[in-house]
A and B are shown apart, each in its own frame.
Chain A
Amino acid sequence: EAGVTQFPSHSVIEKGQTVTLRCDPISGHDNLYWYRRVMGKEIKFLLHFVKESKQDESGMPNNRFLAERTGGTYSTLKVQPAELEDSGVYFCASSFQGRGNTIYFGEGSWLTVV
């Protein structure tokens, strides 16, 4: 069974450019999460989808970040325009519905803004 996959694995962009990160959750997982770890700091929650519906986007840093999950399958996280402080690793995770289900993480998308 395929795990959570993320693309690209690494990206280097200039300040002011746009980057779109993609996440393919494990098949059948309704829950999809985005997390971010910046500069070796804490892993911060960004947002949570259930199917195509955003349940909580309280962790999104600002309106330069836009997440979508069309059709309730894969999700994209767009950063536009990127700033230096956006550098870090962006993790996607997914799980089945219900509390007792483990959240599985992808390998992360490592973003460097120069």
Chain B
Amino acid sequence: AQSVTQPDIHITVSEGASLELRCNYSYGATPYLFWYVQSPGQGLQLLLKYFSGDTLVQGIKGFEAEFKRSQSSFNLRKPSVHWSDAAEYFCARTVPYTGGFKTIFGAGTRLFVKA
């Protein structure tokens, strides 16, 4: 079955340090991939998406992600983390089924930022 795996339940980084959140997907030759963020008490905000083309995707808030087919990965990165980036991050993909398409999510990675 098609799935999304986020190996890290939580990560702690110092403010100003670089960040990489891991995401792996299974199955699917051309996955449509997304990263969403949920800040405490807030809804889901789309950070970036990958459908095709350039494998390095730029998103909002200074985030980027790189699609690597050979590794079945779509890791999220940010060169310098700000305290306001503390939130939960979800990797997601669309999967086809007889009724159309739907999005499935990884379990999420909670990011803690220390001063």
Contacts and interface: CB of A to CB of B under 8 A. Distances in A.
Interface of A: 31, 33, 41-43, 45, 48, 50, 55-56, 91, 93, 97-100, 102-108, 110
A103 B99 contact: no
Contacts of A107: 42-43
Contacts of B44: 43, 91, 105, 108
Nearest to B90: A43
B112 interface: no
Contact of A31 (B41, B90, B98, B100): B100
Contacts of B62: none
**Interface of chain A: mostly helix, strand, loop or mixed:** strand
Rank and list the top 5 A-B pairs by shortest CB-CB distance, nearest first: A55-B99, A107-B43, A105-B44, A43-B105, A108-B43
Interface in B19-46: 32, 34, 36, 41-46
A45 B102 contact: yes
Contacts of B101: 31, 98-99
Interface in B80-106: 90, 94, 96-106
